[in-house]
Chain A
Amino acid sequence: MTGFLLRKTGAAIVVVLAVSVLVFLGIRAIPGDEATVMSDGDPTAIPYYRHLYLLDKPMPVQYGRWAWLALQGNFGRDHSGIPVTTTIVQRLPATFELATLSLLLAVLLGVPAGVIAATRRGKTTDVGVTGTAVVAHSVPHFWLGLLLIIYFAVDLHWLPATGYVGWSNPVENLRHLVLPVIVLATGVAAGLMRQTRSAMLDSLGADYVRTARSKGLSEWRVVGRHALRNSLITVATLIALDFGALLSGAAITESIFGLPGFGRLGLDAINSRDYTMLQGVVLVTAVIWVVVNLFVDVVYSLLDPRIRLTAVPR
């Protein structure tokens, strides 16, 4: 198992490095640089800013400096002088809460639905559940958000349309999150349902399930102890991956519902041409994803005895 983990960690490091290089080059490729923006039309100020932002040094040096600072958690300052790191850290909790609640709802809806659909394959229940999932998958989540806002917030005034309230007021906090969570959970649940169903169908069709049936075990045991156990490993990793995706990709939902989350930062940054901020945000997004993936690998290696234990020497 340690070999497995070492390899995965090594791969993760390589990926983070590659990502950082790409992000760096990507930002550098943007027409117009920090110096021009900051000097605000004053040509004499340009050399000063170029020196300040190290734009007069060769690329590898610039990258090195940036990477070194980034490793220490320093992503520079945005246009208003606030350290990017501070803003990012400030915004993460909201996104985290949104992602966690959405994932919870999605798992509660999607996984049991997938299991039931698999056990009743081909029958009405299965068709109904799968059909619902396909439709949910075809609905753009931002459209769903729009409709929910129009109906529940503007028309009925039951729930607030936008905005966010911190944990100091739990009721209001949750009220503001109901709609965004529903929006995000729908898409994730649809995917989870189909993948759980698929994993269960694979397990149910496997030889060892046939063996379990031939032993005269009750259907509950066969499905619960044998098929589900095996599928759960796959499903658990999927859930973790969905969490990572929610963390790094909830931009649109946060934007529509006016939530001060991390996902939105990228959008805000590009709208205000704040490329230092953008650089930090893109890098952190990618790193979150890589870290979550690594975590998934670790969990997987713990759950699957084939990886956890190496062959008994004879």
Chain B
Amino acid sequence: MSVAVDALETVPAINPRSRRRRLLWARFLRRKLAVACLVVIVFFVLAGVLAPLVAPFGYKAVDFEHVLAHPSWRHLFGTDYLGRDVLSRLLWGARASMTVGLLATALGMLVAVPLGLVAGYYGGWPDAAIARGTDVMLAFPYVILAILLAAIIGPGLTTAIVALGIAAVPRMLRISRGESKSLREAEFVPAAVASGAGDVSIMFRHILPNMAPPLIVAATLTIPNAIIGEAALAFLGLGIRIPDASWGIMLKDAQSYPQDPLLAVIPGVAIVLIALAFNVLGDALRDILDPKLTR
């Protein structure tokens, strides 16, 4: 008769965190589309990182003998109006795009996450002040920001990163603030307070880790916007400067040579591919990390 009762006491102790991590990883692997996206992203990152080693030609190497050439074995994607190899410039351009994309997003997160934590946790006037600050940031489209910055410190990589970073803040701030606000009402907060934890400790050690999933999703979805933004700014002459290679600059050059449409198509397709990869991955991550599905 006491057999059943004894059985209760031998429930094995499983480490909840590693179990969760394995569960998430399994879910990810099950979604082939997401895995494919990750492969594409890794490919582009490698292309950018290894560009100096892998590119058949330098990005500046002009060759007036072979201007506007069609694709051939020597120049897989042809050459542009100065005889520069398109493929090589494409690889070097990946460097610029990845750099700006990742750094701008990182900058945005660096600003948005702490501000959001504070705004959601304290409420009251810090929240109102930060909300107004967000409104101010939103009032400047990233192009205008880049224009202003370019006027002050000159066009370049830094200008692009800062302008796009600031433009990325409002969206992430909304998420981090929302999460912080709702997590503050969670049960573990008064428990932590009761055990003597200070505000900062509660925010960073308790609330922040729980905010991670939606922030990861938001970051993944911000990167493609930053990449497209980088191309746009380069196109306008506000970002990377010539003769450095960026997909945006390649598109600008292509604008003057409509007779060779390949020059316009190729960099654009590269942008679409990498942006698509990040966007689809971000959506998949949102499903995978959905707290309603993890126990």
Contacts and interface: CB of A to CB of B under 8 A. Distances in A.
A179 interface: no
A230 interface: no
B125 to A, nearest CB: 12
Contacts of B280: 134
Interface string A8-25: 000100110011001100
Is chain A's interface secondary structure helix, strand, loop, or mixed overall? Answer: helix
Contacts of A282: 140, 144, 147-148
Given A19-B139, A29-B152, A266-B147, A142 B264 contact: no
B268 A147 contact: yes
Nearest to B131: A11
Nearest to B133: A18
Nearest to A263: B143
Interface residues of A, number: 47
Contacts of A256: 255
A146 B141 contact: no
Is chain B's interface secondary structure helix, strand, loop, or mixed overall? Answer: helix
A143 B147 contact: no
A240 to B, nearest CB: 14
Nearest to B129: A14
Given A29-B152, A147-B265, A278-B151, A154 B258 contact: yes
B264 A150 contact: yes
* The 9 residue pairs across chains A and B that have the minimum distance between CB atoms: A138-B275, A249-B141, A286-B139, A143-B268, A138-B276, A154-B258, A15-B135, A289-B139, A150-B258
Given A14-B132, A134-B279, A285 B140 contact: yes
A137 B141 contact: no
Interface string A131-162: 00011011110110011011100100000000
Interface in B83-121: none
A154 to B, nearest CB: 5
Given A134-B283, A252-B143, A142 B151 contact: no
A292 to B, nearest CB: 10
A142 B141 contact: no
A245 B99 CA distance: 27
B286 to A, nearest CB: 11
6 contacts: A140-B268, A140-B275, A143-B268, A252-B232, A267-B236, A285-B141
B152 A251 contact: no
A3 interface: no
A149 B257 CA distance: 12
A266 B143 contact: yes
Interface string A270-293: 100001001001100111011001
Nearest to A146: B264
Contacts of B148: 23, 26-27, 278, 282
Interface of B: 131-133, 135-136, 138-141, 143-144, 147-148, 150-152, 224, 228, 231-232, 235-236, 238, 251, 254-255, 258-259, 261, 264-265, 267-268, 271-272, 275-276, 279-280, 283
A143 B258 CA distance: 13
Contacts of B254: 146
Nearest to B154: A31
Contacts of A18: 132-133, 136
Nearest to A290: B139
A219 to B, nearest CB: 26
Contact of A11 (B132, B150, B236): B132
A18 B135 CA distance: 10
A26 B146 CA distance: 12
B279 A137 contact: yes
Contact of A31 (B152, B265, B272): B152
A309 interface: no
B135 A146 contact: no
Interface in A252-266: 252, 255-256, 266
A30 interface: yes
A278 B147 contact: yes
Interface in A232-257: 245, 248-249, 251-252, 255-256
A35 B279 CA distance: 48
A161 B62 CA distance: 30
A289 B258 CA distance: 36
A252 B235 contact: yes
